[in-house]
Amino acid sequence: MQKVMTAKQWLIVRLTFPPSLHIIGFCLFFQYSGPIMSNTSGALYILSAPSGAGKTSLVKALLAQDSQICVSVSHTTRTIRDGEQDGVDYNFVAQQDFALLVGQQQMLEYATVFENSYGTSRQWVESSLAQGKDVILEIDWQGRDQVLDIFPQAIAITILPPSQQALQHRLQGRGTDSNAVIAKRMAEAHSEISHYSGSHFLIINDDFQHALADLQCIFTCRRLKTPQQTHNHYQLLQELLSTGG
């Protein structure tokens, strides 16, 4: 059974270790959990957050610092917006084509959000993991639960704002949505936040650099697990253990 970090355990790590040493706490926690992925494959990470929590900005900053990570490009039936690129921001498809992909079981997860369908290609995810890439899925709690049913070894992370007021301020600051849309997003945010406990890790984005450091710790911790390090440094370990060395 996959080990889940409780809110109390997370708090203990945060209080016991300074931000630069959070990785130690994470590694101690994961030391006795089962293997996350095979030693040669990448790991699957699920990032969930209400709109306005800063998830997209955190992921972009993480990608800029780590070339081993890639983000799944979701399929969607919504209309493409100005400045978006098909295949980069989303894979834009017609509703009937999306339904066909679902019927052929080619979607790892899918859901309807704001009257539009979104989904993740299972083939793309499995191919990327096999190439040794760490894959991020930016999906809501419903998609997270669907993926964990199929990939129980995936690592789920929820990112939350420091307050309701901060969340509303961020949404209003975008200047792209009407008051009615913002009100709808705030209602959806409450639903997303209420399911935070289904994730293994919880990050509060009250300070961007602090939140980014916490996110980096989670990725680094998995890579430092003994099975992964044994594979990465096999020759060195053989040399160090050699009786003739």
Does 31 score more than 60 pLDDT?
A: no
Domain architecture of the chain: domains with CATH: 7-72+132-240 (3.40.50.300)
120 close to 108: Cβ distance less than 8 angstroms: yes
Handedness of CA 138, 216, 68, 225 (dihedral sign): negative
Checking DSSP bridges between strand 75-76 and strand 91-92, what pairing results, if any? parallel
Share of the chain above pLDDT 90, in %: 61
213 close to 20: Cβ distance less than 8 angstroms: yes
Does 33 score more than 80 pLDDT?
A: no
30 close to 200: Cβ distance less than 8 angstroms: no
Was 191 annotated as part of a binding site? no
Was 60 annotated as part of a binding site? no
Does 8 score more than 80 pLDDT?
A: no
> Which tokens go with 34?
């089962």
Was 245 annotated as part of a binding site? no
Q: pTM for the whole thing?
A: 0.77
Return mean pLDDT, the chain: 85
64 close to 56: Cβ distance less than 8 angstroms: no
Was 49 annotated as part of a binding site? yes
59 close to 136: Cβ distance less than 8 angstroms: yes
Handedness of CA 138, 144, 149, 153 (dihedral sign): positive
Q: pLDDT, tens digit, for every residue of 129-167?
A: 999 999 999 999 999 999 999 999 999 999 999 998 888
Q: How far apart are the two ends of the chain, measured CA to CA in Å?
A: 40
Res 51: pLDDT: 86
Was 175 annotated as part of a binding site? no
- Secondary structure (3-state) at 35: coil
Was 53 annotated as part of a binding site? yes
Was 25 annotated as part of a binding site? no
Spatial separation of the C-alpha atoms in residues 161 and 171, rounded to whole Å? 11
Was 56 annotated as part of a binding site? yes
Does 124 score more than 90 pLDDT?
A: yes
Query: By C-alpha distance, which of 215, 221, 217, 90 is closest to 160?
Result: 215
